[in-house]
Structures are given as C-alpha cells and as structure tokens.
Amino acid sequence: MTIHCKKGNLVTSWLLAAGLLLNSQIVLAQDDETAEATATDAQAEESSDEDAAGSASDDETDANAEAQNADAAAPTAEKIEVKEKNEVKVTPLPTAPAENATQPQVVSQAGDPEAVSPQHDFDISEYVGYDGGFFLNDKGGIYSLKVNARMQAKYTFEAVDTGDDDKEIESNFSIPAARIKLKGHVVSKAVSYALQLDFGKGNALLKDFYADFAFVKNAFHLRVGQWVKPFSRQQITSSGKLEFTGRAMTDKAFGAGRDIGLAFHNNYEKSPGFEWALGVFNGTGEKPWFEGDAELDDTSDEYGEVSGKFTNVPDTFNPMAVARIGFNTGELKGYSEADLEGGAPRFGLGVSGIFDFDADDSDDGEIRGELDYILKVHGFSSTGGIYLMSVQNGTSFGDQTYGAIGMHAQIGYVIKGMVQPVFRYGTINPDGGDLYRQEITGGISLYFAKHNLKWQTEFGALLEKDGDDDTADTIVATQLQLAF
C-alpha cells in the first residue's frame, strides 16, 4: 500500500497509516475468531463420528450448535472483493437496520455512490396525458400546454347554372382545415393563451393568437389579440363542431369573422347562464392584403420590382365595436352543434351587434344585428338566426339605410349516438330589391367519436331569383374530419 501526502502534512499521514493498520488488525482478529470457531466445529464432528452409539438427538444438537456458531460469526464477517486495477473493496454483509438508522448507499458498478431516492406516490397522469388534447403541466399547475389538431378532407361536386339552360361542372378535393392549436396558462392560472394556425387551402394563416386575463374568473375577463369576434352563434361555433360541412349562406353575408382587438367578457364561449362580451376591433379581418406596388413584366408574366408587404393592419384606425349578450339553461354546450350529449331540454338565446364606424371618412359605415338560438333535447337539436344590416348612405355614419335581411334554421336528430340526419334552410334578400337567394340542404352525419372523428355528406341547392331570372346550382359534398 502506498500513501501519498503533501509536505507539511506528515502528522496527518502518520495518523492515517495508524488507522489503516488498526483496521487491518481488527479484520485479522475477526478472521482468527472465525477460524477457531470452524476448527471447534470440526473437532465436534469428528467426536460425533467416533461415537457411533450416540443417539440421533445428539446429532441434531450438534447441527444446532453449528448454526448458532455460524450466526454468531455472520454479524462481524466482512466480504472482501478484488476489483480491477488492484483495488480492494470491503463491504459489510447485510444486517437488519437499526431503528431510525440512516439508509445505506447504493454503489454503482463504477464505484460511485448514488443516494437512495425516497419513495413517493407519483401520478404522472397529472402532468402529461390526454384530456380533450395532449397536455403538459408543471408540478405547481401554474404553467400548462394543451395541443389540439384538426384535419378536414373534402370532396365537392357543383353544377353551376349559367342561366342559358347549361350547367358548368366543378369538382375537386380540398383540405378546408389543417389546423394546430396550442393553449394553456402561464405565470398564473388566471392568465391563459391560445395560438391556432391553419395550413389548409394551400396557405399558412394565423387564425388565433391571444392572451386572456381572468380578473374575476368566469365573471370579468380581458382578452387581447386576434380571435373570432363575438357576433353570431354560427360564427363563434368552431367549423369543427358543425352539423354540416360548412356554415349557412347567411354567415358570409353577415358574419363577423376574426379580427385584432380587445374585449371584456365573462368567458361567454363556455355558455354560462348569462353571457356577455364587449370589444373593439380593427374591422379589417384576419386575412392579409398586399399594400404597396408591384411591376409586372408583360413578356414573362413575372413580377419585377416589388415594394410593399402583406398586412392585415390598417394605416388608419377605423374601429369596429362588437357586443353580445345571451341566456342559457342547463348544462348547455351552446357553441357545439348536434346533441351528442343527450339529456333534458337545454336552450340558449343570444343577440349580437356590430357598429362599423366611418372613422376613416370612407363613407362605408355599417350596422349589423342578429338574434340566434340553439335547442337540444334527447338527441334532437335545432339552431338558427335572424340577421339585419344597414349601410351608410351619405357622408355621416348616421345616414343609414336598409342593407340586407336574412335568416337560417336547421334541425337534426342523433340516432343511437352515431347517425344524424340534418336539414337546413336559409334565405337572404341582399338589397331589398327583387334579388333573393335561398339555400335548401339535407345531409347525414356519422359520428364515430363525436366531433373528433366524423363523416358528413350533404346534398343541396342554391336558388337565386333576380326579377324574372331564376338559377339553381346543385351541390354535393362529403367530408371526413379527424381531430384530437
């Protein structure tokens, strides 16, 4: 054995050497005691063999004596292991731990001690799993992330009436929605966020990105960012939770869509007994437009010098005010069509208004209002709305005149939680004249996992009457949706 020491530590080194020597003597003494006990046992066995007339009970007594001697030697014995590189490792044999004794360490193969981790009850499902989406939570529950995705694959056949006793056929496959949504809360459970991107229809588009601050949970919230304006039940309802492959024709004529702004609300999307929302938005919508100049090369049909950018932010702030109130009964999911839950009657009624002020003096101010409802009872569902719009007719926002009126209503019944026949009717009178548009559509939806996995097929007609001219377009569509 070689002991290394630094100059000036001679006393310490001698003490260390003396300690090692003393430990070796103790080990040797213990080995001697063990050897003596073994020799005594051997002599006892020889004497027992010579005394052939001894009884069987004496043999049993000798065996018990051997066991007692072995037990007496075990607590003081040590196991000596020779490791690689001429290292000697002395490990005490296991003994029953004393009460309140410190737990031993586990020695790894490399010789590094690893502290024995205490046993805890740990339920990983509280921190990672699936609950309406794949989620991650921190230990304190302050930070969370939930991931959702939705894909819609659709085939559409349309026979367009050109007005001269001829039909123009259009058919195609499309991906109406390919969306990824992230949501959760940060810093505090009172601060939530949501981000939704859509890669369908050949484009990448930001749908939602907002932060929501719950000053008083489910009573007084502030939301800032981009999301669906709180106008019209069918617009607030996600396109993934509809009874048809798309919304009624009234949505494009009167729907508010998404926009950038802020709003105070009481978590109205959860359909509380009384819901309300009041917000101010840009009024430009979610889709960007090109703002600038681009020169087109007539010889190559390619763009030459381009100066500008795509944006959905106006140069001049033209605020749009949006307000909504509603009343709901029972455990109503007011922004999810089809009564997939079943149960006693549940009813919701809402009214919304939009005031598109003419702040930029472009003489295009509008006022839109609507009244909507939803009814669910034992698999039967019905929803619809009435819409009215006025438009500015003069240099002042107050110079309003009739713009359009419309309505839609639909009914459906879920059979055995899976099959739902549906029917919808809608109509619009765009300008108060002789122009009328109607929608008559019927279909069937198959719900394999509620709205997460469903297949919808519909047949419909779009009728238009403008004075003496009548046209009728025929539309057939089928769509598969997968969501999680």
Beta-sheet pairing, 346-356 with 320-328: antiparallel
Q: How many angstroms separate the CA atoms of 384 and 469, rounded?
A: 28
Confirm if 391 and 363 have CB atoms less than 8 A apart: no
50 vs 465, which has greater pLDDT?
465
Rounded average pLDDT over 259-269: 97
Residue 279 pLDDT > 60: yes
- Three-state DSSP state, 126: helix
Which of 475, 358, 390 has its CA nearest to residue 424? 475
pLDDT at 115: 47
More confidently predicted of 41 and 156:
156
pLDDT grade for 120, boundaries at 50, 70 and 90: low
Confidence of residue 360 (pLDDT cuts 50, 70, 90): confident
pLDDT at 162: 86
Q: What is the phi/psi pair of residue 210, to 5°?
A: -150, 160
**Least confident segment among 37-46, 168-177, 358-367, 407-416:** 37-46
> How far from each other are the two terminal CA atoms of the chain, in whole angstroms?
68
Domains by residue range for the chain, with CATH = 126-283+318-483 (2.40.160.10)
CB atoms within 10 A of CB 184: 19
Whole-number average pLDDT of the chain:
81
* Token couple for 129: 């799993």
For the whole prediction, is pTM greater than 0.75? no
Per-residue pLDDT for 82 more than 50? no
User: What whole-number percentage of the chain has pLDDT above 70?
Assistant: 72
Q: Which of 42 and 351 is assigned the larger pLDDT?
A: 351
**More confident site: 71 or 477:** 477
Residue 29 has pLDDT above 70, yes or no: no
Q: Taking residues 62-87, report their average pLDDT.
A: 44
Residues 412, 420: contact at Cβ < 8 Å? yes
Q: What integer is the mean pLDDT of 365-382?
A: 97
Amino acid 258 reads R
The rounded distance, in Å, linking the Cα atoms of 421 and 446 is 9
Which is more confidently placed, 227 or 102? 227
pLDDT tier, 293 (very low <50, low <70, confident <90, very high otherwise): confident
Q: In terms of pLDDT, which residue wins out, 123 or 306?
A: 123
What pLDDT, on a 0 to 100 scale, did the predictor assign at position 404? 94
Dig out the tokens for 388 from the structure: 């009215």
Task: Determine the Cα–Cα distance for residues 327 and 372; give it in Å rounded to an integer.
Answer: 11
Phi, psi of 333 (to 5 degrees): -95, 85
Torsion (CA) 279, 336, 456, 197 in degrees, nearest 10: 40
